[in-house]
Structure 1
Amino acid sequence: MPQDTDIAIDVQGAVKRYGTFTALKTISLSIRDNEFFTLLGPSGCGKTTLLRMIAGFEDVTEGAIYLYGDEIDALPPYKRPVNTVFQNYALFPHMNVLDNVGFGLEMLGQSKSETRARAGEALEMVQLSQFAARKPSQLSGGQQQRVALARALAPRPKVLLLDEPLSALDLKLRKAMQVELKHLQLETGITFIFVTHDQEEALTMSDRIAVMSSGELQQLGNAREIYEQPRNVFVADFIGDTNLMQVTVDAVADGRAECHLGGAHRLTCDAVGGIGAGAKVHMSLRPERLFLSADPVDANSLKGRVREMIYIGTDIATIVDLDGGPQFTVRSSNSSRGNARVFEPGTEVAINMEQGAARLLID
């Protein structure tokens, strides 16, 4: 394979089988140099298996994996310029923080002076220099996670693999660490490959996201593409909240599709290639792209009745039953500048949508 220095990791037709079970089904993707790349999907989708194959902890059954143009399938983990941060941090309890960070450097044959210097630099990078003499048991969960990061960064790997490293942290600390991780990746210029099942986490941190399900790559793109333009039902349903319903396509013309759902309810949306009149497909409508009013505002408005309102803090979610049709969720910003308007349960309302909000999907 010709070397392309813009591509850090190139996965070509990678398959992983365990006996008769296929965990990964012909995955092909390229991860760019200096990119924060996320493998996203539910438990058992194959994302950690792919990460372990890149690290060298799992063999490739078929296909190949290249690192900056060089095939690495035959290289053992310790010979790959790749480091991994695991979910449980795996710190040595009997060592202090500085020695934990420097352990990998010692194993690589670095001198004691070089080891201490580079371990100190890594601790400074994660803002833990003042805790160098402490034992892991004397640190909080977030501080332990930073020590694990510093240990992985100290050898200056070309690629850093992160296997759900934030999952053990509480929500507030996890959100703070998401921002810190992104800043750290930008500061070091190292390619980060991050595994998570948390959709919001992926959208917050990633330059690009690979959405996986049942060992297959469902969609690859940046956060906006994945969220705003889901390729299929799985991606639309897995990424964020959406109103997902089956519709029948009545006609397609000039790039627009006329559809009906739940009997008399009709609306028009952008057409999708390969979907023609008579097709029964799914439609996705993001709750935040809908708004309620007492009367319809255009031909795409749908009539219904408020079932309940849910106060979320930042937002207000209103559940609406369509007349003889499915149930919708409408989400509005809870601010004087937002479009939140209180409609009590039982009130007849119109569900209105922003232009381009309705998206047809291929199952």
Structure 2
Amino acid sequence: MSDAIEIRRVVKRYGTFTALHGVSLAIRDNEFFTLLGPSGCGKTTLLRMIAGFEDVTQGEILLFGQNIAGLEPDRRPVNTVFQNYALFPHMSVLDNVAFGLKMKGVAADARRARAGRMLEMVHLSAFADRLPSQLSGGQQQRVALARALAPEPRVLLLDEPLSALDLKLRQAMRVELKQLQEDTGITFIFVTHDQEEALTMSDRIAVMSAGHVQQIGTAREIYEAPVNRFVADFIGETNLLEVEVASVAGGQARVVLPGGQALTCPSASDTLGRHALSIRPERLSLVEAGGDLKATVERVVYLGTDLQLLTRLEGGAEMQVRVQNSARARVPQPGDRLGLRIEEGAARLLAD
């Protein structure tokens, strides 16, 4: 599969502040690619540089093999959907969708026909004559999507487009966005700080922090095999347990757990000494006797489908455990002393 976007050692500086530190990544054609990270990590800056709204201080951005440095935003085959939708309040829904086509000189009949097809695609044909103020937030978001897709861009940039919606609507829009991307075959580059959004929609994810790309991979790779403490802690919930590394070779490490148990696990590190072991709460199970770790239950939180247990190991470290809620099973209580068994392959030694 060919690359739609190639970012080569891109640096962005604002005076003495460096927002991006030599970022390199490739985004494939027809891919749903997400830039994920906390506020201020540089993800929106990178998106704006692809769009042409920010200049590149150093490095290159290639769009389908062409260096786009100096190419004006309106000459790039990309379109952007913003967080605030940016719809024209005095225009009808149909005219909003057709606006970009009008600016490109498309004839009136042709642009109305294409705008109509875009509204049909986002299930808003019945709302063509309404004003944006007469629509719900989710409907306005779909109008913004239709407008961005109408000129048939090769790449669609989405800057946190779901953040203003309520939870139920966000969840519904995630499904619609992914379906829309698959139906159109357009490359989507999606910016968000929401890990669940990234995990549910993306073909691949780039996790960013402080202007650096920490890891690129599929949702499963990012979640199951984080390379460092930041990625493990930022994506979902995890337990970070300090352990002593006895040996490491061939991507596997032999570590000593608190309490003296030895464990062999996949490793992102190739050095001995003390490192953090990442274990997802749902990959721990409770046992009355034995187990890899000894713990005391401190708090039990009811979450409907499952229970969240906060436990403390004999050495003082905290460990969260997620167990499936069952009417037949006894619910652990604060003060219970239990064993924690780590699922095979569930622990991962981190690089830092």
CA distance, structure 2, for counterparts of residue 293 and residue 213 of structure 1: 38
| Match of residue 319 from structure 1 | 310
Partner of 2:190: 194
Distance in 2 (CA, whole Å) between partners of 1:42 and 1:164 is 12
Distance 1:341 1:28, change over 3 A: farther
Partner of 2:103: 107
> Which residue among 329, 337, 340 is the counterpart of 1:351?
340
Change (3 A) 1:193 1:322: same
What is the 5 A alignment of 1:135-214?
A: 135-214=131-210
Cα distance, 1:274 vs. partner?
Answer: 4.8
Shift of 1:334: 2.3
Deviations 1:229-253 (A, max 9, x none): 0011100000000011222223447
1:109 match: secondary structure: coil
Q: Deviations over 1:107-137 (max 9, x none)?
A: 1111111110111011001000000011011
Q: Which residue of 2 aligns with 1:270?
A: 265
Mapped to 2, the partners of 1:258 and 1:282 lie a distance apart of: 10
Q: Deviations over 1:167-187 (max 9, x none)?
A: 000011101100100000000
Aligned partner of residue 149 in structure 1, secondary structure: helix
When normalised by structure 1's length, the TM-score is 0.93
- Give the 3 Å change call, closer, same or farther, for CA 14–216 of structure 1 in structure 2: same
C-alpha change, 1:129 and 1:23, in structure 2 (3 Å) is: same
Structure 2: distance between partners of 1:199 and 1:160: 20
Match of 2:226, SS? Answer: coil
Name stretches of at least 5 consecutive residues in structure 1 with no aligned partner: none
Q: Which amino acid is the alignment partner of residue 318 of structure 2?
A: Q
Deviation at 1:294, TM superposition (A): 1.2
Deviates more, 1:246-255 or 1:341-350: 246-255
Alpha-carbon contact 1:321-1:327 (below 8 Å) kept: yes
Whether the 8 Å contact between 1:40 and 1:47 is mirrored in structure 2 is: yes
1:291 aligns with 2:282: no
2: distance between equivalents of 1:271 and 1:225?
A: 13
Aligned to 1:258: 255
Code of the residue aligned with 2:285 in structure 1: it is F
The alignment's C-alpha RMSD in Å is: 1.6
Letter of the 1:282 counterpart: A
Does the 8 Å CA contact 1:244/1:285 hold for their aligned counterparts? Answer: yes
- Alignment partners' CA distance in 2, 1:188 and 1:271: 39
Distance 1:165 1:275, change over 3 A: same
TM-score with structure 2 setting the length: 0.96
Q: Identity across aligned pairs (percent)?
A: 64
Distance of 2:21 and 2:241 partners within structure 1? 29
